[in-house]
């Protein structure tokens, strides 16, 4: 958490978390329209959106083209640095091992996610990469922000997909 966030009230932080998660949800909805698994992500530094992304694995035939992975890479290029300790990643679904590992490598300060991922979640559901003291960096995680809305986008997408088969 940045110093500025520490001085702000919990209500202000929660309000910002919802606002930025809604931006991530818009990215997720765009992914669904493109036939991608609807996950969206936003990277915020010092209250400013630095990067927005959505899944594009199908379009790019790239297994690493996850929303949060792409957003972190975009933020690093935008800020011209690979260490992002003053940044928060907002993502609609709990990150997988690969994306949580990238957050660790980028020294992300905080991750806020919507829906938990019991099958592959690496920030509390299945693994806890963010809190593993054996690693040289830990970071704060806030889960469950707009969880129902985030889960609904995924459920709708897969209901439609199953109906097409």
**Residues carrying an active site annotation:** 68
Flag whether 150 is marked binding: no
Flag whether 56 is marked binding: no
Three-state SS across the chain?
CCHHHHHCCHHHHHHHHHHHHHHHHHHHHHHHHCCCCCCEEEEEECCEEEEEEECCHHHHCCCCCCHHHHHHHHHHHHHCCCCCCCEEEEEEECCCHHHHHHHHHCCCCEEEEEECCCCCCCECCCCEHHHCCCCCCCCEEECCCCHHHHHHHHHHHHHHHHHHC
Tell me the binding residues for Zn(2+): 66, 96, 99
């Amino acid at each position: 958490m940045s110093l500025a966030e520490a001085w702000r009230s919990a209500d202000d932080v929660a309000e910002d978390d919802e606002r930025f998660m809604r931006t991530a949800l818009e990215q997720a909805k765009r992914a669904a329209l493109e036939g991608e698994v609807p996950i969206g992500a936003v990277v915020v530094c010092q209250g400013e959106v630095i990067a927005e992304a959505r899944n594009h694995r199908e379009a790019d035939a790239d297994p690493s083209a996850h929303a949060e992975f792409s957003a972190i890479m975009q933020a690093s290029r935008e800020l011209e640095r690979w260490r992002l300790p003053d940044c928060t990643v907002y993502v609609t679904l709990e990150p997988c091992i690969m994306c949580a590992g990238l957050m660790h490598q980028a020294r992300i300060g905080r991750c806020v996610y919507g829906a938990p991922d019991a099958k592959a979640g690496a920030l509390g559901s299945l693994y806890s990469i963010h809190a593993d003291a054996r690693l040289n960096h830990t970071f704060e995680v806030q889960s469950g922000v707009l969880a129902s809305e985030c889960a609904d986008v995924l459920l709708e997408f897969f209901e439609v997909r199953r109906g097409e088969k």
